Amino acid sequence: MKKTLTSICIAAGLLFSTSVGVNAADVHYKDVKKTDNFYNSVQYLLGQKAISRTLPTFRPYDNVTRGQVASILAKVLDDRLREVEYSDVYSGVDFIDVPKTNQFYPYINKLEWNGIMRGYYLRDDSPIRAFGINQPLTRGQFAGIIVKAYHIPLIKLQSYKENGAVKSDIFDGQKFTYPWGQEIATLETLGILSGYNDGNYKPNTPINRSQFANMLYKVESGNLHFFNQSAIVNEFVKLGIQSDIATEKIKSLKNNDVLNYIASYGDTRYLDTITLAADMRKEGEILFRDINVKIVASKDTTGQWVIDVEKIVENDTTSSDTAKITP
């Protein structure tokens, strides 16, 4: 009997775009060549109308400012953001350095409303806030923004240690460093952000425009989803499979054509739940003939990914524990 995991799947909806295209080949900056490692990223942002099509240069090695980031990110996310709800008591953000006439105001206003980018108080005893519109975006700030923008669950400290954490400038050997250690550790675990050759991540180092374009394109061009792995394992157990074997089967799905396993980790939202991060590539079945169980990945009527755990029936002809796929 089919057992669906729709109700216990904790995937936060479609986190990353599934229809990334590079369609602006006719628009080209003087300082961006096809051989540059950021060429596709810049072309993607052009295709999303997130950066200017009329300026002659992209300035790839200039630091990207917080105002520029707000503009680019708001345009890329577009209708994935909630519209600002104005009222008699709320007329928009009131950052001292972002007047309503500023070109970046509507984007900063929308991201602040969605809780993705916020400002800071000039003093502890002052109600006056600033956004830092012309300040460079740092690697740590980037991690914090991306985690919020794409609803990425933060990794727990114990999970990070179990995944082989080594001492660095985001982890002192016992705990994450404040303020961006946990966010960077999460993105590093998921393969979104990497460190430097010395093993550090330099959270306070500014990101230049090409680096930001590459990182954002990497996030947008993936298809990362999060599921309740503990619940999926429990469905294996109900079919008579030991939990450690079920976990081993899930983790074996590296480079799988249907469900590509990325990471398992405890996240800060749930005390006793393991989160499965997976790249959902296509609908299909993954058969484990040695235990007579299959995983079925599909989309429901709303486009949400669903994972089913079922017994293999007689007409399933795809072979075994190597997790070959039937479309």
Of 171, 205, 239, which residue sits at a domain end?
205
* Buried residues in 149-175 as b, exposed as e (16+ CB within 10 A): bbebbbbbbebbeeeebeebbbbeeee
Rounded CA separation 233/229 (Å): 6
Alpha helices, DSSP H, located in 173-264:
181-189, 209-220, 229-238, 243-251
Residue 222 pLDDT: 81
Mean pLDDT (the chain) is 89
Rounded CA separation 301/305 (Å): 10
Same domain, 321 and 243: yes
Q: Which one-letter amino acid corresponds to residue 262?
A: I
pLDDT in tens, 130-188: 999 999 999 999 999 999 999 999 999 999 999 899 999 999 999 999 999 999 999 99
Rounded CA separation 150/50 (Å): 17
Query: What is the helix (H) or strand (E) element at residue 9, kind and residue range?
Result: none
Return the SS3 of 118: coil
DSSP category for residue 177: P
Same domain, 158 and 242: no
Same domain, 235 and 319: yes
In the block, residue with structure tokens 């994935």: 80
Flag whether 211 is in a domain: no
- Omega of the bond leading into 179 within 30 degrees of 0 (cis): yes
Please say whether the beta carbons of 295 and 307 come within 8 A.
Answer: yes
Same domain, 188 and 281: no
Of 154, 172, 205, which residue sits at a domain end?
205
pLDDT in tens, 90-138: 999 999 999 999 999 999 999 999 999 999 999 888 889 999 999 999 9
Residue 321 pLDDT: 39
Rounded CA separation 85/105 (Å): 15
Domain count for the chain, please give it.
Answer: 3
Flag whether 36 is in a domain: no
Same domain, 176 and 245: no
Same domain, 161 and 106: no
* Buried residues in 91-121 as b, exposed as e (16+ CB within 10 A): ebbebebbeeeeebbebbbbbbbbebbebee
Rounded CA separation 133/264 (Å): 37
pTM: 0.85
- Domain enclosing residue 11, as ranges: 6-15+223-326
Flag whether 233 is in a domain: yes
